[in-house]
Structure 1
Amino acid sequence: MKNISTLCAALLLAASAYAADEHPSVKRPTNPPPSADLSYNLKIKQSGLSLNGVATVQWRAGDGKYSIATESRASIFGKIVENRSEGLVDDYGLAPLTFHEKRIRKEPYTTSFKRDAKTIAFTESDLTYPILGGEQDRSSAQWQLAAIARAAPDKFKPGSEWHLFVAGRRDAEPWSFKVLKTETVEIGSGEISAVHLSKAPPPDAKGQQVDLWLAPSLDWYPVRVRFNDPDGDFVDQVLEKAVKK
């Protein structure tokens, strides 16, 4: 079986590695979803081994601030990932200040968005990136998309593309999500209509593909996230319950 770090990485909206030669900075109207506790069921395939798991997300937004606390557990391994993103809400939408992550058997790391210095910095590398506006971390990215969609749902049409600049563990890079179509997703409470977005790796890379489903009737909460590796391994995360706070 692949080492546990590969499994942990699959539980994040991880992008395939390529040069950060684009840094989109676009002011868009945003309307973050209301605060909620969300629980998800996980189906995982790693090196031919099928596992089940659960993930919990505490999403909070209000008074010009937001926070996202996520914990993922898989059968056999127990808790394998926990992370927290905290920040402000500004004219660009979610504006992270810190992203902290702890993976099983790994030291924790922090990605800092130093807004006074207008610089993104990492505990895991000496790289830095300028803050131009709209930058996200790996946890806030999907919630930024939800906030954009809630503010302008008519623009989330098939074929539209949404570009973000996302900081990870050691570096940052552009992500591009394309709206495919509206589909029916089976969640804990039954069937729900959701907008399917896909983030594919660059054509010349063999990275991970990420598919994201946002449900308009459920305040555009993420109701499904699927991570597909080129070798057929995957993590499929489907909403079981959402409780507004």
Structure 2
Amino acid sequence: MRTSIILGLLGATVLLAGAAQAADAPGEHPSVKRPTSMPPSADLSYSLKIKQSGLSLNGQASVQWRAGEGKYSIVTESRAAIFGKVVENRSEGAIDDFGLAPATFYEKRFRKEPYTTSFKRDAKTITFTESDVSYPIKGGEQDRSSAQWQLAAQARATPDKFKPGSEWQYFVAGRRDAEPWTFKVVKTEAVQIGTGEVQAIHLVKAPPPDKEGQQVDLWLAPSMDWYPVRVRFNDSDGDFVDQTLEKVVKK
């Protein structure tokens, strides 16, 4: 097994993952104002299970979520057996009428140079250190770390709208470019976490029919302020990364 493949999978663990592809049609850049209610600031600890080419690997991930006084920040780290810390990323910005409004998204992966995606609010432009492309800011844009917390904030504000079959679309910036993501609510399911069983809303982000990519499954727990209690990344060949909540400490 190649180390680079495992590290690539681990790089997805606390992100809503995959390299974003550029959106061709301007109409695919959604800008919708929806009510939000930010989950309380907290430190969250997750266990990781990874399968790659028949080999299993365990690890841990941590998320520091902070929201208040019109600002937010998300600091994440992933650690794996043998490798130690393999991913560190930060998303920070403001809270506006659209919800989370990222200013910067920074990521550093094991043995790779860091990169930064910038949301330049004054110029109303998203730019990347890894490419020369740019996108207009229309409102509501997210990065790959903030997207799940934007979902949680919207669900916390309007839980009755998160019914099976409902869809939630965002314009999400990645490492080099951006694209629309659509999350669909599947159903309520029991999820076993570190402190016991909880009921959680299961959402799925599937790759577009005409593109390859990971499917992302996300579970948000209403009884726990809609914190993400499980995230699973599935590749078409059966490889996966499964991230499950072990502990929450509110701040």
Please give the TM-score of this superposition, normalised by the length of structure 1.
0.97
Matched, 1:119 2:125: yes
CA contact (8 A) 1:37 1:244 kept: yes
Q: Distance in 1 between matches of 2:211 and 2:170?
A: 19
Matched, 1:233 2:235: no
CA contact (8 A) 1:184 1:191 kept: yes
Residue 206 of structure 1 and its aligned partner are, at CA, apart by 2.5
Aligned match for 1:196, one of 178, 195, 202 = 202
Cα root mean square deviation, aligned: 1.1
Q: Distance in 2 between matches of 1:57 and 1:19?
A: 28
Aligned match for 1:81, one of 79, 84, 87 = 87
Q: Across the two proteins, how many residue pairs are aligned to each other?
A: 245
Match of 2:9 in 1: 7
Question: What one-letter code is carried by the residue in structure 2 that aligns with 1:13?
Answer: L
Match of 1:36 in 2: 42
CA contact (8 A) 2:10 2:241 kept: no
**Alpha carbons of structure 1 residues 104 and 15: separation in structure 2 relative to 1, 3 Å:** closer
Which consecutive unaligned segments of at least 5 residues does structure 2 have?
A: none
Question: What one-letter code is carried by the residue in structure 2 that aligns with 1:110?
Answer: T
Which consecutive unaligned segments of at least 5 residues does structure 1 have?
A: none
**Alpha carbons of structure 1 residues 113 and 18: separation in structure 2 relative to 1, 3 Å:** closer
Residue 6 of structure 1 and its aligned partner are, at CA, apart by 2.1
Which deviates the most, 228-237 or 17-26?
17-26
Match of 2:188 in 1: 182
Q: Secondary structure at the match of 2:140?
A: coil
Q: Secondary structure at the match of 2:36?
A: coil
Residue 204 of structure 1 and its aligned partner are, at CA, apart by 2.1
- Shift >6 Å, 4+ stretches: none
Q: Distance in 2 between matches of 1:124 and 1:18?
A: 13
Residue 49 of structure 1 and its aligned partner are, at CA, apart by 1.1
Residue 128 of structure 1 and its aligned partner are, at CA, apart by 0.3
Please give the TM-score of this superposition, normalised by the length of structure 2.
0.95
Q: In the TM superposition, what whole-angstrom CA distance separates every residue of 1:88-138 from its partner, at most 9, and x where no partner exists? A: 000000000000000000000000000000000000000000000000000
CA contact (8 A) 1:59 1:69 kept: yes
Q: In the TM superposition, what whole-angstrom CA distance separates every residue of 1:55-74 from its partner, at most 9, and x where no partner exists? A: 00000000000000000001
- Among all aligned residue pairs of Structure 1 and Structure 2, give the percentage whose two residues are the same amino acid: 80
Q: In the TM superposition, what whole-angstrom CA distance separates every residue of 1:131-177 from its partner, at most 9, and x where no partner exists? A: 00000000000000000001100000000000011000000000000
Pairing 1:101-180 to 2, within 5 Å after superposition: 101-180=107-186
Match of 2:69 in 1: 63
